[in-house]
Structure 1
Amino acid sequence: MQDLPLTRDLVLIGGGHTHALVLKRWGMKPLAGVRVTVINPGPVAAYSGMLPGFVAGHYTRTDLELDILRLARFAGARAVLGRATGIDRKRKLIHVEGRPPIHYDVASIDIGITSAMPDLEGFSEHGIPAKPLERFATQWDSYRALVRAGETPPHMCVIGGGVAGAELAMAMAHALKGTEGLSVTLIDRGEILEEFRAPTRRALLNALNDAGVTLLPNTAAGKIEADNLTLTDGSTIQSHFTLGAAGARPYDWLEETDLTIVQGYVRVGPTLQSSDPTIFAVGDCAHLAHAPRPKAGVFAVREAPVLFDNLRILLSEQRGKIKKSLYHPQKDYLKLISLGGKAALADKNGLRLKGAAMWRWKDSIDRKFMAGLKDLKPMRPPVLPDVVAAGLRDEVEGKKPMCGACGAKVGGDVLSRVLREETETERTDVIRLAGDDAAVLTHGEAYGGPRQVISVDHLRSFIPDPVLMTRITAIHALGDVWSMGAAPQSALATVTLPRLSPPLQEAWLSEIMSAARAVFAAEGAEIIGGHTSMGAEFSIGFTVTGLTDAPITLSGAKVGDQIILTKPIGTGVLLAAEMAMQANGRDVATAYASMAQSSGEAARILSGAHAMTDVTGFGLAGHLLGICRASGVSATLTLSRIPLLDGALALSQAGVASTILPANRAYAAEYDGPNDAMADLLFDPQTAGGLLACVGNGGAENLIKKLNKAGYNAAIIGEITEPTSEDGVVLKARP
């Protein structure tokens, strides 16, 4: 199906439980011709069913979280990390913070609800909403660690006496049980747990009492401060962690969509379609008009097969010919309520069971649900015909798919042999600097004016999102200009689109050019043209120019110089792992952010460097050796000082590597040091990597301070040394 054109855009807004299950089903049974996009504020989504267990300390953060990037990879979808802010139904565009709008033919909303209390004084500054779950989990992790270290008092308040507030209050009390001075208070405007039948309510109130939770029913909060909560009657309660678990409400932007809204929620019918038949809504943000129900995860889970079937029908050529699936929620459902410790209360149809066995039952259900969304198999290798060309099996069987980005480049040893051939034409206005990042052109009378540098970079797609791919490629291409001390001037874009219908061609190109213009305009450069074509897969490149009075070259390094690196390394191994569905979504998102970070300010800070390059396809070792060869010096790296992206070393230790790693090792033959997982990262191909600069020893520390202040994870990683007479140029590495 990869060779078939894309003709329809399906956009899933939010990474809630329903959409997570739809992504898995889509990966198992995709619909040819549909591009799927999932929009979520972060790379992970927390599972609400395990949140009380996480707070209590029974689960780790990893247990709790669904990896949206990994699910998207399994589904063949693009993941857009951003917060949706609106829908333009007339133009069929979804607005997302910090990026161009996203086109849709069919969309589904699963963004949950928020527990923020904007009307409660001080809540925005000092309160913590229970939803969205990811933010709460992060803040609880930090607070619990501070309490255990004795750095903050263990005083907590939970506003909201429903089942969620009660579960979390008991979990917090259990997590910090035995801590001196511990206090947990549960507050509600009405009665605590009033939604339950009397026998169930009594059992839960007893459990709260056993957990040591103080109950304040018929009590209203008036103001939240950093270390206390003031009630409307003027009394105060000491609280250093005030959690909002009441008044969960829909996100405000839904009101502005002109969909039919009921108390802020999107009204849907049995097919889960809204008043606009091309927009669905599921989970807590939806109002089931035909069968109103309380907000509960069980309904979201059971909506998934109905949503999946109806999305496929609406997007297919059989729409209107097949009857849509209908969702009819059960009237009552099993409630398994955590009681802080490893005990739970089960309630359904008036039947109640309580104890450790109920916890084990709940734990089994939750773990099974999560395993179904985590135990995903990566793509299968291609199946070869019975008879193939000699050597083909060696290149395909037993090998992983070719990496994208710089991992797809031709090895440096091959390039150096080919480029060694001299050109037949020599121009006096072209300054030949063998091995440098960009060519230098001279202009004007006697070539005495500013010099123009020119370079080109083109990347095979490694991210299904054209916008993020464009941003990273533009930063990657500009690296050659920045590394020569030049100011970006202009760019030509070269875009190869996969096979798309004309409307999708326009949508893709609009997103790509909007993203590209934003990157180059921020650096003072202008896109002056380009070329587009259709091909087997998406790729993009830029030819860039810059202006400088005196280019920084590779040949200026001096003995005694300190070596500065402005970004952490590890993008190659992380991208290889992501493609094989072995990477952690948080780590991948961090790598994306690093690649998309401009090096413009770093280049300005390092404008006085003796020699400079950007770390890209040949890896840190290969590019540093490029400086050493051109300057006739050696270098020594201190491995412990080299900044690494989160997860990169662990993946390297697990044997994950980019497909170009062997070629990079061959290219850097002068390397003399350890041959372990850390050393492999020296040869890891970087995409949009940092600047590698050789600077005078006296000012290196001051430059690092400036770089760190500007937002770069920069470090001094080694020094330039004399080449030995017997070894010549050598790159040494020490722990």
Structure 2
Amino acid sequence: MQKTDFPFTRDLVLVGGGHSHALVLRKWGMNPLAGVRVTLINPGPTAPYSGMLPGFLAGHYQRSELDIDLIRLARFSGARVILGKASGLDQEKQLVSLECGQNIHFDIASIDVGITSKMPTLQGFSQHGTPAKPLHAFAYAWEQFRQKPGDANVAVIGGGIAGVEIALAFAHALSIRQRGYKVTLIDAGSVVGSLRQSARTKLIAELQSYNIDILEHAKISEISALGVVLEGENLIPAGFVCGAAGAHPHSWLRSTGLDLNDGFIEVSSTLQSSNPSIFAVGDCAHMSESPRPKAGVFAVRQADTLFDNLRATLAENRRLKHYQPQKDYLKLISLGRKSALGDRFGVAFRGAAVWRWKNRIDQSFMSKFKNLPGTNQPEPPTECAAGLKGELGGPPLCGGCASKLGQPALEYALAQRSLFDRPDIRRLPGDDAAILCTGGVQQVISTDHLRAFVNDPIVMTKIAANHALGDIWSMGATPQVATATIILPRLSTALATRSLHEIMTTADHIFSEVGAVIAGGHSSQGSELTIGFTVVGTCDTAPITISGASPGQSLILTKPIGSGVLMAAEMSGLAEGDWVAFALEQMCQSQAQAARILGKAKAMTDVTGFGLAGHLMNICQASNVGADLNLEAVPTFPGAIELATQKIRSSLFLENKQVLPDTRSSPINDLLFDPQTAGGLLAAVEGDPAPILASLEAADYTAALIGRTTDKIGQISIC
């Protein structure tokens, strides 16, 4: 988590990861405004660049080349990312509502959510059609269809520039399959009627060169499973129907109370809405003083004005800049093959050179987000204490379990403690929790806390709560009560109140879902966010410990490994956003149901800071067994192997490796020593493991049979 030398006093919330907001985040990373906490809300970890979409549809670009990685961009800019879809905005309470039920406070907000191509009024479209926007779903649906064998019939509804580009891209992609295809372009008016005649003539010629059927002034009655049905019951056969007709605003904008124009947010030349604390840019905005068509060029050029005006408003400097869009702009239109058409000031030109020009512009734009500097370690002064340079020479200090002390240090410290002899406390051979026996009731108590590794307090609370509950679940206990320990970074009173409310509301939801209550806790301010919980659970039967395994039992793991490597890479801007988002989702997953399914395990622990090898060794030593570990069966997070291949390691890796120091180094071997945060359960079970694995899979766990216990005490064999 990025630290700041100044307390946060104002909340800036960017709703949507459109082109303008992406550029604002990049500029913010290079020149932040002290005291501002930036939050980005977006449905996914990436945002596609629309300028390269036709090239992807035609097969000229890989899918990943279209994506702006918002996770990396947020790390660079110091912003927090909330992966969720906005569903409303309350001006009076200054809240952005999400579909998942969260509410995010703002002092200043900016909206850049684009448009949708959904056609809710066209019968059958929601069942059988695919809107061109949002781009993520559209690109995925087209890729699935394009790979199907056999002949292909495609229909594109909408004959504007976007529809023509899509139709040409479809035709080119299908033509190189060497199979039969037919593309039909349908419009209620004239195809590309907004263009000047010279450009329109050239585009029509390109459509005809691909034998694309052009249906103008056509009226559609419905979309069926067989294709597009026109009035008069004429059927246009199509296995894939794309909707690219017009720009439709998101429906939730109507409930904001902001001034709208045909559903789009009206903004002045300063890009402010009717509420001066709320800005809007890109296709979701209507520039009331100088209306322009929906085109990405305006969103890109609004970014500079938006950045300056957000800073001025947050600093309460009312000298705002005015955005003046150009009256005419260069249109570069993809023509299917690696050729493009340019149009400006009434002059139209086309060819391969124009496509190369367009490609250079697109690649230059995307390079702004792909070439971001990572996090550098601080340089020590010329004179410093012995050992300091060595400490700074390793990987940066990670968050989560990777920031904790290693097993040797803990064992030494615990060995120095005074021995206790109390009848109401049961001593355990290395389990993280303790067993209390009071009035005939067995209670399990454990405590844990995490140094934040993401800027979102809500996500960190989910992870910290499930991480703390892991010790309770692994002993077969039922959560009863918890107390919270929260350290907030330096914040103004208003922002501290907001953050604490987010944390405690989230924690209350997590614990109440498993039948526990939060009875209280403590809070303080420090240099960075730390969230911890002390949890008490009850046991109706004998608790499961790490000492009950015996030779010949199956070893089951309920989550992938590799989260430590992923979070270490994310800190340095080296992990892909999709990888990080999936890992965070898995870390937020409760192990409650897994614990119930594994309720008859003979030994069990949760895999956390010591890594899979360390926690497996704890079971082996406490139970006087060994283990054969099937390396190929161990599930890993997407991206973990790739990052381990690049020699990326978390800050606890070297200490964890001491448990098996002679293990040959390789990407998958090294992940055995990777510290996990809110990791899975590792259980030794008797009998046939197949029914247990089937139940875990049905409950949406990435569970695997990873080995068996042996009679070779304290020895782990990796095969």
Partner of 2:456: 465
| One-letter amino acid matched to 1:708 | E
**Residue 572 of structure 2 is aligned to residue 580 of structure 1:** yes
Partner of 2:160: 162
Shift of 1:624: 0.7
Range with bigger deviation, 186-195 or 294-303: 186-195
Shift of 1:388: 2.1
SS of 1:478 mapped into structure 2: helix
Pick aligned residue for 1:73 from 39, 56, 75: 75
1:332-411 matched pairs, under 5 angstroms: 332-396=328-392, 398-411=393-406
TM-score (norm 1): 0.96
Contact 2:198 2:347 in 1 (8 A): no
| One-letter amino acid matched to 1:298 | V
Pick aligned residue for 1:656 from 631, 641, 648: 648
Contact 1:154 1:179 in 2 (8 A): no
SS of 1:176 mapped into structure 2: helix
Pick aligned residue for 1:547 from 533, 538, 554: 538
Percent identity of paired positions between Structure 1 and Structure 2? 52
Distance 1:141 1:478 in 2: 41
Partner of 2:670: 680
Shift of 1:127: 1.3
Contact 2:270 2:320 in 1 (8 A): yes
Contact 2:395 2:649 in 1 (8 A): no
Partner of 2:194: 195
Partner of 1:176: 174
| One-letter amino acid matched to 1:35 | R
1:713-732 matched pairs, under 5 angstroms: 713-723=702-712, 728-732=713-717
Pick aligned residue for 1:621 from 599, 613, 628: 613
Contact 2:380 2:388 in 1 (8 A): no
Distance 1:651 1:588 in 2: 12
Partner of 1:98: 100
Range with bigger deviation, 1-10 or 713-722: 1-10
Q: List gaps (5 residues or longer) in structure 2.
A: none
Distance 1:213 1:683 in 2: 57
Distance 2:519 2:213 in 1: 67
| One-letter amino acid matched to 2:264 | Y
| One-letter amino acid matched to 1:419 | L
Shift of 1:380: 2.9
Pick aligned residue for 1:89 from 88, 91, 94: 91
Distance 1:431 1:273 in 2: 64
Distance 1:330 1:197 in 2: 17
Shift of 1:119: 1.1
Shift of 1:521: 1.0
Distance 1:138 1:674 in 2: 40
Partner of 1:416: 411
Distance 1:157 1:421 in 2: 75
**Residue 6 of structure 2 is aligned to residue 4 of structure 1:** yes
Partner of 2:33: 31
Partner of 2:256: 257
Shift of 1:424: 4.1
1:692-703 matched pairs, under 5 angstroms: 692-698=682-688, 700-703=689-692
Distance 1:657 1:155 in 2: 50
Cα deviation digits, residues 293-328 of structure 1 (max 9, x gap): 0000000000000000000001115x13xx211100
Partner of 1:330: 326
Partner of 1:612: 604
| One-letter amino acid matched to 1:161 | G
Partner of 1:304: 303
Contact 1:153 1:240 in 2 (8 A): no
Distance 1:222 1:105 in 2: 47
Distance 1:251 1:531 in 2: 42
Partner of 1:125: 127
Contact 1:117 1:247 in 2 (8 A): no
Contact 2:395 2:650 in 1 (8 A): no
Shift of 1:198: 1.5
Q: List gaps (5 residues or longer) in structure 1.
A: none
Q: Which runs of 4+ in 1 moved over 6 A?
A: none
Pick aligned residue for 1:486 from 468, 477, 493: 477
| One-letter amino acid matched to 1:272 | L
Contact 1:272 1:307 in 2 (8 A): yes
Distance 1:156 1:99 in 2: 38
Shift of 1:697: 3.2
TM-score (norm 2): 0.98
Cα deviation digits, residues 513-544 of structure 1 (max 9, x gap): 11111111111111110000000101100001
Partner of 2:718: 733
Shift of 1:153: 4.5
Contact 2:429 2:546 in 1 (8 A): no
**Residue 681 of structure 2 is aligned to residue 691 of structure 1:** yes
Distance 1:473 1:232 in 2: 58
Contact 1:674 1:733 in 2 (8 A): no
SS of 1:336 mapped into structure 2: strand
CA RMSD of aligned residues (A): 1.3
Distance 1:476 1:101 in 2: 24
Cα deviation digits, residues 125-152 of structure 1 (max 9, x gap): 221111111111122222222x2xx2x6
Cα deviation digits, residues 651-671 of structure 1 (max 9, x gap): 0011111010001001x13x7
| One-letter amino acid matched to 1:200 | A
SS of 1:136 mapped into structure 2: helix
Range with bigger deviation, 213-222 or 704-713: 213-222
Cα deviation digits, residues 703-726 of structure 1 (max 9, x gap): 111110111111111111111xxx
Shift of 1:426: 1.9
Shift of 1:99: 4.6
Partner of 1:521: 512
SS of 1:556 mapped into structure 2: coil
Cα deviation digits, residues 683-706 of structure 1 (max 9, x gap): 1111111111111132x0111111
Partner of 2:59: 57
SS of 1:434 mapped into structure 2: coil
Shift of 1:370: 0.4
Distance 2:180 2:687 in 1: 53
SS of 2:547 mapped into structure 1: helix
1:425-440 matched pairs, under 5 angstroms: 425-440=420-435
Contact 1:574 1:648 in 2 (8 A): yes
| One-letter amino acid matched to 1:684 | D
Distance 2:678 2:515 in 1: 19
Distance 1:227 1:658, change over 3 A: farther
Contact 1:483 1:613 in 2 (8 A): yes
Contact 1:100 1:515 in 2 (8 A): no
Distance 1:678 1:2 in 2: 36
Range with bigger deviation, 689-698 or 287-296: 689-698
| One-letter amino acid matched to 1:49 | G
| One-letter amino acid matched to 2:346 | G
Shift of 1:401: 1.9
1:98-117 matched pairs, under 5 angstroms: 98-117=100-119
Shift of 1:161: 0.8
SS of 2:629 mapped into structure 1: strand
| One-letter amino acid matched to 1:75 | S
| One-letter amino acid matched to 1:440 | I
Shift of 1:172: 1.0
Distance 2:395 2:671 in 1: 19
Distance 2:219 2:401 in 1: 58
Distance 2:20 2:305 in 1: 10
Distance 2:221 2:562 in 1: 49
Contact 1:570 1:686 in 2 (8 A): yes
SS of 1:141 mapped into structure 2: helix
Shift of 1:436: 1.1
